[in-house]
Amino acid sequence: MTSIAKPQIPLLPLERNQLGLTIRDYSGSMSTLCAGCGHDSVTAAIQEALWGLSIAPYQVAKLSGIGCSSKTPQYFDSAAVGFNSVHGRMAAVASGAAAANRDLVVVGVSGDGDSLSIGLGNLAHAIRRNVRMLYVIANNGVYGLTKGQFSASADIGSRSRKGEPNLLPPVDPMLLGLSLGATFLARGFSGDKAQLVPILKAGLSHGGFALVDVISPCVQFNDHEGSTKSFRYVREHELQDIDADIIPVRGQIHSEQTPGSVTEVELHDGSRVLFRAVPEGYDPRDRVRVGSYLVESARRGEIATGLLYLDETTPDMHQVSATTQDRLWDLPFDRLCPGSAELAKFQARLR
């Protein structure tokens, strides 16, 4: 059996959130990923974000596709009902779940193979539909479970562990998202939880599709010299230009500092995001500027991280479809079935 319960070692009194729950109440079973895997840090950050926002653990619907990253829903929030689906289809399955129950906090975890190769189509259209969910790509540029093939996010010239260079251009989920009308685009690094957790919190509070690309190095197959997705490379090339802090509706401000140039955006649930942008004139609501910033930083070999783009005005899937505020899945049957009299009336036209 590869699902291992975590030992419950008593620690110092843990901090409690507004539901009176500790971070432990958001944990799952023991990870079976490789020691030091970046994905485990992503898992921990998701757990902390859920806890920090005081989301009831069972209100979460956690979904994934196939791959190392897609194993991770097992490793957080075991009070939630989850769905480890098939390769590349998580975005579609999550869209369906969000359609059926608009009260769910939908959290999808996927990888670069799952999202940018086999599942690119489904991801693109979930972005277009603006399904309200947090969609995390744990991005390591490599297929781990099949032992080291390049994925679609591998950079040109990045070398595999055997020294083979990647010759094809990468799919950048951030640029992709911009072109598809994404409403929330952020990039983080699994090695920087302090930045990642606020990003995930903002994503969970967002009123649409929150795409978070997390560079999450694969310690087995893509953490060597020559890789552009290694811990060392990302640490050396990360460009933390756009810093964002989230102020939850009921929560406290996480960063007390709010220096000079601050852009404030109110999220769907009333939370606010404060952007502290270092580059002159950076506006996280300006699709064109964000796009050129990303292209330029990539050209310089830098990895721009932070909450890069935010649009809280575009309607989400349910708003576009004018769906009832009630959950569809348990609507009373008499609201759904027209009944025999209407059937007779309908058929009058068929006689």
By CB under 8 A, name the binding residues for another protein. 1-3, 56-63, 73-74, 77-86, 88-89, 91-101, 103-104, 121-122, 124-125, 129, 317-318, 321-326, 328-331, 333, 335-340, 342-344, 346-347, 350-351
- The nearer residue to another protein, 100 or 156, going by C-beta atoms, is 100
In this complex, which beta carbon is closest to another protein, that of residue 262 or of residue 337? 337
User: Looking at beta carbons only, is 77 or 223 nearer to another protein?
Assistant: 77
Beta carbon of residue 72, minimum distance to another protein (angstroms, whole number): 10
The least CB distance from residue 28 to another protein, in Å, is: 8
Contact (Cβ atoms closer than 8 angstroms) between residue 170 and residue 155: yes
Minimum distance of another protein from residue 211's CB (angstroms): 17
Place of tokens 């843990």: 14
Residue 193: CB minimum distance to another protein, A:
24
Residue-wise over 95-134: b if at least 16 C-beta within 10 A, else e?
A: bebbbebbebbbbbbbbbbbbbbbbbebbbebbebbbbbb
Q: How far is the CB of 126 from another protein (least distance, A)?
A: 8
CA distances from 270 to 190, 199, 206, 251, 316 (A): 27, 16, 9, 11, 16
Joined tokens for residue 320: 């576009």
Nearer to another protein, 32 or 255 (CB): 32
Q: Are 73 and 79 contacting, i.e. CB atoms less than 8 angstroms apart?
A: no
Q: Cβ closer to another protein: 101 or 263?
A: 101
Order the strands of the 272-277 sheet from edge to edge.
Answer: 242-247, 272-277, 262-266
Residue 252 or 347 with smaller CB distance to another protein: 347
Q: Is 304 exposed, middle or buried (0-12, 13-18, 19+ CB in 10 A)?
A: buried
Report, in Å, the least distance between residue 103 CB and another protein.
6
Rounded CA separation 25/27 (Å): 6
Report in angstroms how near the CB of residue 65 gets to another protein at its nearest. 10
299 or 349: CB nearest another protein: 349
CB count in 10 Å sphere of residue 91: 28
| Residues with Cβ within 8 Å of residue 25, at least 6 apart in sequence | 51, 57, 79
